[in-house]
Amino acid sequence: MRDVAIIGVGMTSFGEHWSKGFRELVVEAGTNALKDAGISGEKVDAGFVGTMASGKLIGQEHIGALIADFMGLNPIPITRVEGACASGSLALRQGIMAVSSGMHDTVVVGGVEKMTDLGTTGVTTALGGAGDQEWELFFGATFPALYALMARRHMIDFGTTEEMLASVSVKNHKHGSMNPNAQFQNQITLQDVLNSKMVANPLKILDCSPISDGAAALVLVPLEKAHSYTKKPVRILASAQASDTISLHSRESLTGVKSAQIASQNAYKYAKLSPKNIDVAEVHDCFSIAEIMAIEDLGFFKKGEGGIASLEGRTSLGGEIPINTSGGLKACGHPVGATGVKQLVELYWQLKGDAGNRQVKDANIGLSHNVGGSGATTVVHIVKGEW
Amino acid sequence: MRDVAIIGVGMTSFGEHWSKGFRELVVEAGTNALKDAGISGEKVDAGFVGTMASGKLIGQEHIGALIADFMGLNPIPITRVEGACASGSLALRQGIMAVSSGMHDTVVVGGVEKMTDLGTTGVTTALGGAGDQEWELFFGATFPALYALMARRHMIDFGTTEEMLASVSVKNHKHGSMNPNAQFQNQITLQDVLNSKMVANPLKILDCSPISDGAAALVLVPLEKAHSYTKKPVRILASAQASDTISLHSRESLTGVKSAQIASQNAYKYAKLSPKNIDVAEVHDCFSIAEIMAIEDLGFFKKGEGGIASLEGRTSLGGEIPINTSGGLKACGHPVGATGVKQLVELYWQLKGDAGNRQVKDANIGLSHNVGGSGATTVVHIVKGEW
């Protein structure tokens, strides 16, 4: 089993791309990644792409072949993988398997979603397919509703407050203001969040990540060849994936995501590291409560203490563990299939010292946490600057 | 890179399952495969499932997690892959990578589609997402229309006749009549096909595979451990995947599928075999013309001679290369995501001598050919009885 490294990354800006279609977004992110790696398309052996709901959002399946075609990469194999909002990380995981197995040497991993071609009802219905269609969505339990249930339970059990939830969005908008690719680069206050429109009590519109278009891409090679491409490759130390029940009502607990706990414990084990060793992390803040559960599930804070830690600024740039320097899903945007790949783009820049004024000082080890649905899938990657 | 073997298979019958949903189909095929392998769910490390269009067909994405849950396999990772009608073979390919990389030891591979919950217009639109949504489907070019263009060109260039096309369906219904899992177990005549209703000239309804529900599953382990589970494992000799343009109008030729030619040439190279070594093959006969092109693209017959070979019975049971002993997509049925996995189920039974009265005598090496869309993806596997 060969070790694997990232040698180049690329992304589009995230936002409402009215003048770019699904294909243009993919090509832009993919060519940026190839350029960054300093290779041409002929070097690429295979690809994997994460896309959640292109069938419902743009009427297009067979995304792998579409991308091979529009990237000019025929006849290489490109395969789409889907695991709801964790689709991007799953594409990375398949890319890692393809390289580590020896089946392929140079693999492009992409993630993409074009969400603004449908109205919000259409998008909300499409996203509802990440949960249990028969027992949740059919009865009206959309994703804000599901996460609101988790938030309410967290508040009851641990005294988490609406201010603590709001502080996650404030921090992520602050980080997003330093990221030129972020959908929202405006800063907001606790009061802005608390006064914003209620979506599903206690979650307000500024507790929720937006509907976004965007794409991101990575180039993978065997670690042993990585230094012939770049002085500063980023090594994959761990790739871990776990599952939980698709519907909330079957879970043992609503205040944590079991698949995230299992995936992160496995990832730490594979990497021979503990939460203390992580310098910077991108986590899945689809709603503010999701980030609070994430930083607890990942072992950065004890269960129940994520809310106060957020309010106290311990997860901000300059804090003890900077979370979501990209702005996270909340401020950077959440084109669903792209998110898991964008997390690695941000970590790559952080570990190489290329993150501009949102740079975490001396960051050498990063972690990504990407959740599908309400936690039925979680994928955790740990990466390290290798130079 | 470890060699990989299949140690158990299972499937549902294919057809219109009015009393079974997507979940029930998956669980039935999956538990059949585990039983066949003689293992319990606790032994399984990971899974991959091929499903094409569940978002449009049943409003459900996040299929991997759904299956982990309903199979009682939480918290193991299960990942969905999608490549239109080749989704099943792509799931197998990811399973092979997972085992050969050493990342997982015991992997379940599944394929499933539940198509009859929508009306035919809905299904035809969903399937149209396998081609180019912007440049084909939007303008009304559904799949019968696309394959009709290929059929017409094949007729003009090579003198292929409607009788030759019809002979493919007649042969596949004959094979299907010997398969208790087949959707259609009735035999038909050349006249039945020629007199059946025109769908897209020259393709009539009996040239077309049906809309189907069904699921199929395989259990994979490293070859070195396979004999501890079964005396007769089936070894994966080659897994090859290639891509071509998503839309027909960009192709060099309409009378063959370039991705199938490339994938099969690579598969023969990996397996150190030639078409002559193949004892039995399952090929992608979504339309009668597709099987004629397939047996040419795979090198069983020269380009242009597939039609006459079919009419002469050279691809029937007892012929020189028995094609689609399961009944193929035409008679066994075509629940899209399940098809590529079902092909391996049939080959497994053939190589072990378990194919009942449709058994190919002394079959030891089998080939599967699974096409996505009009040929933008083709996956070819070669397998061998290892005892």
Q: Are strands B198-200 and B107-114 parallel, antiparallel or unpaired?
A: unpaired
* Closest chain A residue to the Cα of B79, Cα to Cα: A83
Look at strands B4-11 and A365-372 and give their pairing.
unpaired
B373 interfacial to chain A (CB closer than 8 Å): yes
Torsion, Cα A334 A337 A338 A340, to 10 degrees, reads 90
C-beta separation of A122 from A56 below 8 A: yes
User: How do residues A83-123 score in pLDDT, each as one tens digit?
Assistant: 999 999 999 999 999 999 999 999 999 999 999 999 989 99
Q: Which chain B residues have a beta carbon less than 8 Å from that of A62?
A: 82-84, 129-131, 246, 372-373, 376-377
Closest in B61, B103, B129 to A84, CB measured: B61
Instruction: Give the whole-angstrom CA distance, residue B180 versus residue A229.
Output: 56
Q: What's the confidence (pLDDT) of residue A66?
A: 97
A120 vs chain B: nearest CA distance in angstroms?
16
What is the distance between the alpha carbons of residues B158 and B307, in angstroms, rounded to a whole number? Answer: 9
- Band of the pLDDT at B298, cuts 50, 70, 90? very high
Question: A 250-289 residues with CB below 8 A of B?
Answer: 250, 258-259, 262
pLDDT of residue A126: 95
The reported pLDDT for the residue numbered A184 is 98
Q: In whole angstroms, how far apart are CA B313 and each of A101, B170, B180?
A: 42, 10, 23
Query: Residue B113: pLDDT above 90?
Result: yes
pLDDT of residue B330: 98
CA A29 to chain centre: 16
Can you give the pLDDT at residue B334?
A: 98
A137 contact B CB<8A: yes
Is there a contact between A101 and B1 if contact means CB atoms under 8 Å apart? yes
A159-199 pLDDT, tens digit each: 999 999 999 999 999 999 999 999 999 999 999 999 999 99
Residue A66, chain B, CB below 8 Å: the answer is yes
Give the tens place of pLDDT for each residue, B207-226.
Answer: 999 999 999 999 999 999 99
DSSP state of A16: -
- Judged by DSSP in three states, B335 sits in coil
Contact B61 A137 (CB under 8 A): no
Q: How is residue A357 annotated by DSSP?
A: G
Test B84 with A61 for CB contact under 8 angstroms: yes
Strand bridging mode B213-222 / B4-11: antiparallel
How would residue B141 be classed by pLDDT, with cut points 50, 70 and 90?
Answer: very high
Mean pLDDT score of chain A: 97
**According to CATH, where is 3.40.47.10 located in chain A?**
4-119+212-226, 127-209+236-385
The percent of residues in chain A predicted with pLDDT above 90, rounded, is: 99
Res. B143 pLDDT band, cuts 50 70 90: very high
CB–CB of A64 and B259 under 8 A? no
Question: Chain A residues with CB inside 8 Å of B60's CB?
Answer: 129, 133-134
Within the 234-253 window of chain A, which residues sit less than 8 Å (CB to CB) from chain B? 241-247, 250
CB contacts, 8 Å: A64 with chain B: 82-83, 243, 377
Q: Judging by DSSP bridges, how do beta strands B46-50 and B280-282 pair with one another?
A: unpaired
Query: Tell me: the pLDDT tens digits for A305-356?
Result: 999 999 999 999 999 999 999 999 999 999 999 999 999 999 999 999 999 9
Q: Is residue A258 predicted with pLDDT exceeding 90?
A: yes
Using one digit for the tens of pLDDT, what is the confidence trace for B316-370? 999 999 999 999 999 999 999 999 999 999 999 999 999 999 999 999 999 999 9
Contact residues on chain B for A58, CB-CB shorter than 8 A = 133
Query: How much is the pLDDT for A275?
Result: 98
Q: Is the pLDDT of residue A1 over 90?
A: no
Strands (E) across chain B are located at 4-11, 46-50, 78-82, 107-114, 198-200, 203-204, 213-222, 234-243, 280-282, 365-372, 377-385
Out of A62, A75, A245, whose CB is closest to B130? A62
Question: Which residue is associated with the tokens 């770019």?
Answer: A20
* CA B213 to each of CA B25, B119, B120, B210, B330: distance values in angstroms, whole numbers, following the listed order: 8, 13, 13, 10, 14
Asked if A203 and A287 count as a contact pair (C-beta separation under 8 A), the reply is yes
Kindly report the CA angle at B382 between B331 and B332, in degrees rounded to 5? 10
pLDDT band, residue B378 (cuts 50/70/90): very high
CA distances, B14 to each of A1, B183, B184, B335 (Å) = 38, 5, 9, 7
C-alpha Rg value of chain B to the nearest Å: 19
Judge: A372–B137 Cβ closer than 8 Å, yes or no: no
Q: What DSSP string describes B7-54?
A: EEEEEPPPB--TT--HHHHHHHHHHHHHHHHT--GGG--EEEEE-S-H
Q: Which listed residue (B85, B208, B286, B332) is catalytic?
A: B85
β-bridge pairing B46-50 and B107-114: parallel
Mean pLDDT of B155-182: 98
Evaluate if residue B255 carries a pLDDT over 90.
Answer: yes
Phi/psi at B219 (5° precision): -115, 125
CATH class of the region B123-209+237-385: alpha beta
Confidence at residue B302, expressed as pLDDT on a 0 to 100 scale: 98
What CATH number has the domain spanning A4-119+212-226? 3.40.47.10
Model-wide pTM > 0.90: yes
Q: Is the Cβ pair A242, B128 closer than 8 Å?
A: no
Q: Could you write out the DSSP letters of every residue in A79-131? A: EEEEBTBTHHHHHHHHHHHHHHTTS-SSEEEEEEEE-TTS-HHHHHHHHHTTS
Find the largest Cα–Cα distance for chain A.
Answer: 56
DSSP B137: G
Distance CA A331, CA A86 (A): 18
Query: Do the Cβ atoms of B294 and B251 come closer than 8 Å?
Result: no
Joined together, the tokens standing for residue B240 give 């090859």
Instruction: Return the ∠ at Cα B308 (arms to B307 and B312), rounded to 5°.
Output: 120
Is residue A43 a contact partner of residue A361, using CB atoms and an 8 Å limit? no
**Model confidence over A38-77: pLDDT tens digits?**
999 999 999 999 999 999 999 999 999 999 999 999 999 9
Question: Is there a contact between A243 and B65 if contact means CB atoms under 8 Å apart?
Answer: yes
Closest CA to B107 of B119, B98, B116, B117: B98
- CA of A372: which chain B residue's CA is closest? B62
| Set B104, B154, B284, B334: catalytic member | B334
Listed in order, the ranges of chain B carrying CATH 3.40.47.10 are: 4-119+212-226, 123-209+237-385
Rounded mean pLDDT of B285-295?
98
| Nearest by CB: B377 against A54, A65, A130 | A65
Q: Look at the alpha carbons of B14, B19, B25, B31 in this order and tell me if their dihedral is positive or negative.
A: negative
Q: Does A146 touch chain B (CB under 8 A)?
A: no
Predicted pLDDT of residue A160: 98
CA A75, CA A91: separation in Å to the nearest integer? 19
Nearest-Å Rg of the Cα atoms of chain A is 19
- Closest-CA distance, A351 to chain B, in angstroms, reads 26
Instruction: Give which of B1, B66, B265 to mutate to test A binding, by max A Cβ within 10 Å.
Output: B66
CATH number of A127-209+236-385: 3.40.47.10
To probe the interface with A, which of B2, B79, B143 has the most A CB atoms within 10 Å?
Answer: B79
Give the C-alpha separation, A267 to B219, whole Å: 26
Q: Is B381 on the interface with A (CB under 8 A)?
A: no
Q: Over the stretch B90-109, which tens digit does the pLDDT of each residue have?
A: 999 999 999 999 999 999 99
Residue A267 has pLDDT above 90, yes or no: yes
Contact residues on chain A for B102, CB-CB shorter than 8 A: 1, 100-101
Which residues of A are catalytic, by number?
85, 334
